[in-house]
Amino acid sequence: SAVISQKPSRDICQRGTSLTIQCQVDSQVTMMFWYRQQPGQSLTLIATANQGSEATYESGFVIDKFPISRPNLTFSTLTVSNMSPEDSSIYLCSAAEDRASSGNTIYFGEGSWLTVV
Amino acid sequence: AQTVTQSQPEMSVQEAETVTLSCTYDTSENNYYLFWYKQPPSRQMILVIRQEAYKQQNATENRFSVNFQKAAKSFSLKISDSQLGDTAMYFCALYEAGNMLTFGGGTRLMVKP
């Protein structure tokens, strides 16, 4: 199974600043995704990180606020820009592993718990 | 559009007993995957079990098994011999290959000693 490392695991950020979260997968994966999980809620997809091209954003999320990079098949970053207290959430990176023998499985990183003060 | 519904926001079970968590979904695709994830207080999303839609046989992983009813679009999770460490949020999720993973609202499970 793919192992996903995400950092930082936790941070306290000042209002108005930006923070970049890194996601590293130990194997090449077909798709990578970024999710947000606000306190007490389920996961909401922010965007699909596309290798070598612009990310595909879901409704309610824009590139200026959540720029995403994916320079290769194993690495992606998510930046939360100009943060406000409403951005306090857990941000999770996930990856779709597609094996010929067993099909698709989705794995998650440990999450990055951001608190904006 | 795909949707996933978990109708039980909270459940509890006595240690060593069996509990079943419900999940229904909707998709127009024929090729998809279903997952149950566990999220303990550490917030790590842990894959519990997965099911390929084209397989009729229900998936089983140790104490965890599913009842996959494709026609009814139902995918319930059964936890046998519940343990205190099973206390967590459980999310049902649907994945259409090449698309995105859609989550249900979650069920908070409490295992009581």
The span from the CA of A96 to the CA of A106, in Å, is 4
Average pLDDT, chain B: 94
Question: In whole angstroms, how large is the CA radius of gyration of chain A?
Answer: 14
Q: What is the pLDDT of residues A60-93, one digit of tens each?
A: 999 999 999 999 999 999 999 999 999 999 999 9
> Which residues neighbour A60 within 8 Å (Cβ) at sequence distance 6 or greater?
none
The span from the CA of B20 to the CA of B5, in Å, is 15
| pLDDT in the model for residue B101 | 85
The span from the CA of B29 to the CA of B54, in Å, is 11
Question: Which residue do the tokens 């904006």 mark?
Answer: A116
| pLDDT in the model for residue A100 | 63
- Two tokens, residue B28: 């127009």
**Does the pLDDT value for residue B89 go beyond 80?**
yes
- What type of residue sits at position B37? Y
Confidence of residue B2 (pLDDT cuts 50, 70, 90): confident
Q: Do B100 and A48 touch (CB under 8 A)?
A: yes
Do A34 and A66 contact (CB within 8 A), yes or no?
A: yes
The residue-averaged pLDDT of B55-70 equals: 94
Q: Do B101 and A94 touch (CB under 8 A)?
A: yes
- In the three-class reduction of DSSP (H, G, I as helix; E, B as strand; rest coil), residue A85 is classed as helix
| pLDDT in the model for residue A101 | 61
> Which residues neighbour B31 within 8 Å (Cβ) at sequence distance 6 or greater?
B53, B54, B96, B97
- Per DSSP (E only), the strands in A15-100 are 19-25, 31-37, 44-49, 56-57, 68-72, 75-80, 89-99
The residue-averaged pLDDT of B45-69 equals: 94
The residue-averaged pLDDT of B36-60 equals: 92
CA B96 to chain centre: 16
Q: What is the pLDDT of residues B6-41, one digit of tens each?
A: 999 999 999 999 999 999 999 988 889 999 999 998
Give chain B positions within 8 Å (CB) of A33.
Answer: 100-101
Q: Mean pLDDT, consecutive 10-residue segments, chain A of 117 residues?
A: 91 97 91 92 92 90 96 95 96 85 81 96
Beta bridge mates, B32: B96
* Cβ within 8 Å of A, B 6-45: 33, 35, 37, 42-45
